[in-house]
């Protein structure tokens, strides 16, 4: 967040992209719904920031899923590759507005009936490398339950909120420690 505020749109180092393929039939609406459920489950995926003086994290009650689907199945392989490559490059330079939230995007490209490519893009402020497997596991578990018409039993993960509460409660002690350490 610090770098995004101080360097503006010029630094894309904190824009993270992950690209993978699904080599099976996909129920596109179920996958989209799984992403939406996961966004509700993990508060960090509904995060935005305000910085009138001090940076404040705001977790919206309901997130807006930035889902971008494109059917490329009528194109030849070269055209598909070019389309996905250009979309990935364009996304890399699409700036996240930290004050508005929506700090991740999901692209699903249909190559054929049994071949889809997914591009997941996010600002590092909401996810890091440690969190990614947790999020992807949740999405895929939810997708499987939706396709099998099983109960979802989605429980909101409060670890992020509890961590932020702990940090706020111990803010003065941390400040005192670091002031003493640095002086």
Asked whether the predicted pLDDT for residue 157 surpasses 90, the reply is: no
Buried b (16+ CB within 10 A) or exposed e, 135-168: beebbeebbebbeeeeeeeeeebeebeeeeeeee
Whole-structure pTM value = 0.84
Q: Residue range 128-153: average pLDDT?
A: 94
> What's the pLDDT band for 102 if we cut at 50, 70, 90?
very high
The full set of domains in the chain, from first to last, is: 2-182 (3.30.559.10)
Q: Residue range 11-27: average pLDDT?
A: 90
Q: Are 88 and 17 in contact (CB under 8 A)?
A: yes
Would you call 62 helix, strand, or coil by DSSP?
A: coil
């Amino acid at each position: 967040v610090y770098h995004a505020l101080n360097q503006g749109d010029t630094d894309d180092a904190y824009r993270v992209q992950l690209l993978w393929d699904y080599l099976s039939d996909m129920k596109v609406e179920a996958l989209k719904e799984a992403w939406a459920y996961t966004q509700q489950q993990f508060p960090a995926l509904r995060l935005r920031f305000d910085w009138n003086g001090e940076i404040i994290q705001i977790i919206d009650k309901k997130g807006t899923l930035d889902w971008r689907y494109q059917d490329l199945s009528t194109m030849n392989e070269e055209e598909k590759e070019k389309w996905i490559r250009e979309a990935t490059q364009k996304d890399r330079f699409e700036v996240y507005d930290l004050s508005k939230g929506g700090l991740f995007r999901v692209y699903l490209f249909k190559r054929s009936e049994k071949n889809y490519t997914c591009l997941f893009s996010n600002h590092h402020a909401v996810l890091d490398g440690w969190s990614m497997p947790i999020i992807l596991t949740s999405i895929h578990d939810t997708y499987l339950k939706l396709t099998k018409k099983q109960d979802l039993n989605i429980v909101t993960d409060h670890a992020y909120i509890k961590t932020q509460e702990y940090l706020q409660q111990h803010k003065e002690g941390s400040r005192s420690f670091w002031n003493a350490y640095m002086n």
